[in-house]
């Protein structure tokens, strides 16, 4: 296990997306979908986090009782390109080490449904990551959910703000479930174990 931080330090798990029903099923909102499933597993509901411009849920992931890892699930309620401010405010409030922040987000350069976990790195043009890195630096974990590249000449901005196709939706629940498993593995067993189990 390569989680070397004290079990008392919370993890901040951030699902990236855009607020509002018109964006709910977009490819760009898969981070929100994973966060919602994790909230369901924890058995709680998101609540508005005061001035932080985010919805949050506090709970535990892993073994029942004190052995479980403390987590704060968050969905920034700013738009994607302003995610860094709310995330950094939550990190300060909950005193979360940067290496225990996890961003769950869509990734264009990976085939649909493929997962990749890593610590640090660039933003690859993703506006949510760009904003987070500007606010905090790059040393946080990422759970990257592949959505593939846009077909033909479709613009990237149009592609990410469209809903998943009917063919993609057939697998979406399973893939979101697997991404939530990967987040739990990362938090409870460390990056190397999660990478070997879920990177494909």
pLDDT for position 66: 64
pLDDT for position 32: 98
109-127 per-position pLDDT tens digit: 999 999 999 999 999 889 9
Which strands, in side-by-side order, build the sheet including 54-61? 47-48, 54-61, 69-76, 11-15, 101-107, 141-146, 115-119
29-61 per-position pLDDT tens digit: 999 999 999 999 999 999 998 777 999 999 999
pLDDT for position 51: 74
Nearest-angstrom CA–CA distance, 162 and 184: 28
**Which member of 28, 105, 126, 141 is catalytic?**
28
Nearest-angstrom CA–CA distance, 52 and 29: 20
113 neighbors 107 (Cβ within 8 angstroms) = no
pLDDT at 86 over 50: yes
80 neighbors 31 (Cβ within 8 angstroms) = no
pLDDT for position 172: 98
Split at pLDDT 50, 70, 90, the class of 9 is confident
pLDDT at 138 over 80: yes
28 is known as an active-site residue: yes
Pick from 100, 94, 84, 198: which is nearest to 144 by CA? 198
pLDDT for position 183: 97
The structure tokens listed for 48 are 């508005």
pLDDT at 98 over 90: yes
172-199 per-position pLDDT tens digit: 999 999 999 999 999 999 999 999 999 9
Split at pLDDT 50, 70, 90, the class of 65 is low
Residue ranges of alpha helices (H) inside the chain are 30-42, 84-94, 127-136, 156-160, 166-189, 191-198
Split at pLDDT 50, 70, 90, the class of 4 is very low
CB contact set of 174 (below 8 Å; sequence gap of 6+) = none
Dihedral pair phi/psi, residue 82, rounded to 5°: -120, 20
Nearest-angstrom CA–CA distance, 174 and 57: 23
> Looking at the whole model, is its pTM more than 0.75?
yes
């Amino acid at each position: 296990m390569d989680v070397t931080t004290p079990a008392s330090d919370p993890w901040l798990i951030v699902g990236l997306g855009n607020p509002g029903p018109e964006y709910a099923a977009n490819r760009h909102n898969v981070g929100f979908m994973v966060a919602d499933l994790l909230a369901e597993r924890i058995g709680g509901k998101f609540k508005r986090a005061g001035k932080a411009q985010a919805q949050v849920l506090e709970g535990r992931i892993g073994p029942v009782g004190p052995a479980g890892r403390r987590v704060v699930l968050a969905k920034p309620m700013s738009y994607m390109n302003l995610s860094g401010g709310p995330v950094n405010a939550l990190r300060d409030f909950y005193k979360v080490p940067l290496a225990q922040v996890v961003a769950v987000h869509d990734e264009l350069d990976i085939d649909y449904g493929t997962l990749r976990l890593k610590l640090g790195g660039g933003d690859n043009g993703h506006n949510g990551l760009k904003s987070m890195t500007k606010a905090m630096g790059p040393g946080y974990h990422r759970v990257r959910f592949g959505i593939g590249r846009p077909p033909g000449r479709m613009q990237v901005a149009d592609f990410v703000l469209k809903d998943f196709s009917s063919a993609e939706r057939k697998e979406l629940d399973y893939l979101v479930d697997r991404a939530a498993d990967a987040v739990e593995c990362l938090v409870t067993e460390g990056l190397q174990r999660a990478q070997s189990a879920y990177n494909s």
